[in-house]
A and B are shown apart, each in its own frame.
Chain A
Amino acid sequence: MGVIMLDFIVYALVAGVSVAIVAGPLGAFVVWRRMAYFGDTLAHSALLGIALGILFDINLSLAVVLCCVALALGLVAMQRQHWIATDTLLGIMAHSALSLGLVAISLLENVRIDLQAYLFGDLLAITPEDLKWILLGGVAVLAAIYWLWKPLLAITINEELAQVEGIQVARYRLALMLLIAMVIAGAMKLVGVLLITSLLIMPAAAARRLSGTPEQMAIFASILGSIAVVGGIALSWFVDTPAGPSVVVCALMIFLLIFLAPRARA
């Protein structure tokens, strides 16, 4: 029994730290590009992805990624119409997607779903199969970020300048959305759809004060996120709190510590 429990913890730690490492640089982009609300909207649609995945019997992570990407594309198309402000649009889409997901899941017959686990995460229920996908996906996303780093940074600084300088802005914007969608699929197990955005933005926001370059900020965000995950799992293990919210609470404490600490030098 003790050995099995230890397995669970190791899976949880490895999966959690992997997601945190990947979420670091992507979270930095979310903060720089002011996409926090956008990330939240994508995350809310993940539940709908789960429902559709069960309905059509496809891999649930894949279903989540597809659903997020579809939502992102829909959002971009509607933004172009300019008939409603983006934040209103995001609000409509986020809560509609979440509610559609909840309704769809309740309509699925003969399927028992632990809704709590999807909403708030269930780190300790990670299976070796899940872990394999998280690791593979994590390596793929990290490689893509490394490869796309310069153009992504260029479009983040200024899209018009980048376009004039010959960068295909629309293509890279889409790539960034796709990468965020993949991280959401991975992070859902960890902290649940309602808390995913915090894993993206809190470590990155905390890392800002420690960093002098974009690269430093991305790396510090990964490190701080990993610390939050380990701390959250420890809290959950020793004090028996829910794992997902514990991770977020740890991220908050890190953010506050760094934010309130006096600056070492001017």
Chain B
Amino acid sequence: MSDTLKGRRSGSPPVLPGYRREEPGTHPPLDYPDYRSTARRFPRRPLVPLPHRLTEVTGPLLGEGRVGEGDHDLTAQHPGEPLGERIVVTGRVLDGDGRPVAGTLVEVWQANAAGRYRHDRDRHPAPLDPNFSGAGRCVTDAQGRWRFVTVKPGAYPWGNHDNAWRPAHIHFSVFGRAFAQRLITQMYFPGDPLFAFDPILSSVPEQARARLVSRLDLDTTVPQWALGYRWDIVLRGREATPLEDEEDDR
């Protein structure tokens, strides 16, 4: 019997290979006491392994219908321009094999230049900006590229510990093309002196932290108008195919 037939038993449809499992040393632990809000929210029981079957190798493909013409420009959503340092932030969504993830929805949200979110529960006594909502959306192009125009968010205080301040960051939500690839994370700006004091960034294993920091990019910078930052988002790649695994078993 050929490997192909072995891999596709009669009656069961062929299924694409699953996605790679988490590489140790990539993601923060769920139990991380320095970030106090984890204490009553992290599961204490061991996670149950979920093999990647059809529900996990598929996922919502939400693109064009979700994004309006100017949704990528957070500086153009109101009659006036927001205060602060105008910036361009761009990059690609790639999978772990370096392939672009095209047509995937990228959603962002952030504080304004003064470090204040347009949210009822943000108590930071910094001004709201009537010309800034702080939310954007776009869909990646065929090369996996996305681009936002915004203002650089301010640092802000929070209640985690005495004199706690978050470094400037933009929140990112990315779907990829499979449920297994879904990612929500935060992008930081290079050289921020608050990095060393931030338990949320520090929760990431040390060797992986730099992956969350954008870089200043003069090619993205628009002369006389806005500094540019680049940051690529890498979702997990696919496993080797089951056929290769079977050959290994001989």
Q: Indicate, yes or no, whether A interacts with B.
A: no
